[in-house]
Amino acid sequence: MEPERLERLLAATHGADGLARGLPAEAYTSEAFWQLECNTVLSSTWVCAGFAHELSAAGDVIPVTVAGKPVLLVKKADGEIAAFHNVCRHRCLQLVDQPKNVGKLIRCPYHAWAYDLSGALRASPHFGGADLDQPEGFNSQAHGLWPIRTTVWHDWIFVNLDGTAEAFEDYAAPLIERLSGVNFHQVEPIGVLDFGEIATNWKFIMENFIEPYHVQFVHKTTTRQPLGDHYTIIDGRCVGSAVDLSEEEGTSGSLAVSSRYLTLFPNFIVGRYFPDQLGVYLNIPIGPERMLQKRALYTTEGQTLTAEEIDGLKSLWWDVHKEDHEMCERMQIGRHSPVASEGGVLSPVWEDSVRAFQDQIVQAVTAPKAVN
């Protein structure tokens, strides 16, 4: 996207009336803007790409998409989790197309090149001729899988494609501090909801989670959280909202509990529900108008739930997410109207956190390396 056009596109994010405008429609619908995000926002930051507990044994692999690129999450022989570009170094075939256990070797189905779980090339059969695996001068060490900078924070796998993000502990410091009261030694996954593909831009899902304005209208059958009990959170890369309730109903059939709805830019979402539950969302952008989503449910503080209680939580959260998905998909449709060209208006009270998230998008896509 040309720098001049990008500048014009983002110039209207604050109106003359003093109200903040949302991002213009092209930021949610344009293929050019999506490609720009892939090269900036989703490459230069720490992007959440998976759940560690889904890689339980050595040889477990999960293919994912990050910034439009094929990535492979791998449980190595030593128990560590690594990420590689999911591409064979021979003819650049996607190596793995579904989660599975590969044993000790990641083998290309095309010509049987094979890599160990640390990414080293271990076999290139007949590459130099019949019964000759390596032609003269071939350096197998130079043809291993391309590694991707990876960190695992508790149960959550983060990758940084271009390797330029600051150390994760510094990058995520505001979120880490806000979750300092959680005893992560007692956090246990109890289930994952897989929502598959959602027909919306990934930013709408993030913005929906960040603002409390919609809760009393969209989730009126699943929660009773007075709007006045909510407040927004803007803390660097961690933005979101919270609610403190004096009367709580428990989490088995209602969201009416004191909660913290926190994000880490760009795509990580964690909900803390007092006194003893967490929910973490895996949001995978796959195009300007499509994304994938999972939600992992966790207990904290050593809480034990029955199978019936877990099923109840899964049902509750499935319904809540479907309510949100409908709104986000309809916002996506709305962005194709000329009315949306300037992005609508944002509440200065309930959606200042949305504006803070959008400002980070603007900063990322207009950084010097983005437009040079």
* Cα 50 to Cα 55: distance, rounded to the nearest angstrom: 9
Q: What pLDDT score was predicted for residue 274?
A: 86
Q: What is the pLDDT of residues 23-35, one digit of tens each?
A: 999 999 999 999 9
Evaluate if residue 149 carries a pLDDT over 90.
yes
Evaluate if residue 372 carries a pLDDT over 50.
no
Question: Higher pLDDT residue, 370 or 67?
Answer: 67
Q: Which residue has the tokens 């998409």?
A: 65
- Alpha-carbon distances of 349 from 16, 213, 269, rounded to whole Å: 18, 9, 21
Using 50, 70 and 90 to split pLDDT, how confident is the model at 52? very high
Using 50, 70 and 90 to split pLDDT, how confident is the model at 237? very high
Summarize the confidence of residues 288-296 as an average pLDDT: 98
Q: Which of 16-20, 262-266, 360-364 has the highest mean pLDDT?
A: 262-266
Q: Which residue has the tokens 């916002």?
A: 331
Evaluate if residue 242 carries a pLDDT over 70.
yes
Q: What pLDDT score was predicted for residue 339?
A: 93
Domain with CATH 2.102.10.10 in the chain: 50-160
Q: What pLDDT score was predicted for residue 248?
A: 52
SS3 percent helix, strand, coil of the chain, rounded to 5, is 30, 30, 40
Q: Peptide bond before 275: cis, by omega within 30 degrees of 0?
A: yes
56 touches 287 (CB < 8 A): no
Evaluate if residue 251 carries a pLDDT over 50.
no
Evaluate if residue 254 carries a pLDDT over 50.
yes
Evaluate if residue 268 carries a pLDDT over 50.
yes
Q: What pLDDT score was predicted for residue 156?
A: 98
Q: What pLDDT score was predicted for residue 20?
A: 86
* Cα 237 to Cα 168: distance, rounded to the nearest angstrom: 12
Query: Among the listed ranges 13-27, 157-171, 286-300, which one has the minimum average pLDDT value?
Result: 13-27
Query: First and final CA of the chain: distance in angstroms?
Result: 11
Q: Which residue has the tokens 């720009």?
A: 36
Q: What pLDDT score was predicted for residue 371?
A: 46
* Cα 43 to Cα 361: distance, rounded to the nearest angstrom: 13
Summarize the confidence of residues 240-264 as an average pLDDT: 76
Domain 50-160 in CATH: superfamily? Rieske [2Fe-2S] iron-sulphur domain (2.102.10.10)
Domain with CATH 3.90.380.10 in the chain: 3-45+168-371
Evaluate if residue 271 carries a pLDDT over 60.
yes
Domain 3-45+168-371 in CATH: superfamily? Naphthalene 1,2-dioxygenase Alpha Subunit; Chain A, domain 1 (3.90.380.10)
Q: What pLDDT score was predicted for residue 61?
A: 98
- Alpha-carbon distances of 83 from 133, 151, 251, 270, rounded to whole Å: 27, 9, 35, 22
Q: What is the pLDDT of residues 309-344, one digit of tens each?
A: 999 999 999 999 999 999 999 999 999 999 998 889
216 touches 302 (CB < 8 A): no
Average pLDDT over the chain reads: 92
